Structure 1
Amino acid sequence: MAKKKRTKPMSLENVARMTQAGFLGVGRRIDTLEKNTGEGFKGILELLDAMRTDVNYIKHSIKNLPLLERDVEDLKSRLVLVEKRVGLRR
């Protein structure tokens, strides 16, 4: 037959120590989670900053697009005139 282990009676101090150790462990885990979450948000913020830069670049490029199209059409018409004067045909 297996021998039964004797258990010491729990004192109030032992219960208090165990409770304190449990709360400290939870506190450490929460601190670790906060640190990891903060680092994750930092990465997301960096990504959002890069995306914001790209969106601003695209926005400014779109603003200039009609001006560039007008310049291309102007250059095409001028090229047609030069080709006619030189005697080249398409």
Structure 2
Amino acid sequence: MTMPSTANSYIANSKITAKTLKSLLETGSWRGADLLDIIPAATVASLLIDVVACTEKIAESVNELACLAKFKSVDDVVTKEPPSLLAKIRCGRVRV
């Protein structure tokens, strides 16, 4: 089995976007607009921010379980070399 690695970049992009969305909601640039028009959009934005946070926690748990199960990193499978230093650091086998 191999460790999942493709989700990391998507999660990083999602976190950046969620942070931007949250700051837009907090700035109050919506003032002066009709409240009934804003509520649905603010609700969806709030739910998206929560989904990103939950997805990040799930990805961390999956990575931790992959380390505990001693999954190989994708790089190791392709190159047939010993685990990379980055994979060892992620699994807590090397302290930085």
With normalisation by structure 1, the TM-score equals: 0.40
Indicate the structure whose relative CO is greater, using CA pairs within 8 Å and at least 6 residues apart: 2
With normalisation by structure 2, the TM-score equals: 0.37
Tell me which protein shows more helix as a share of its residues. 1
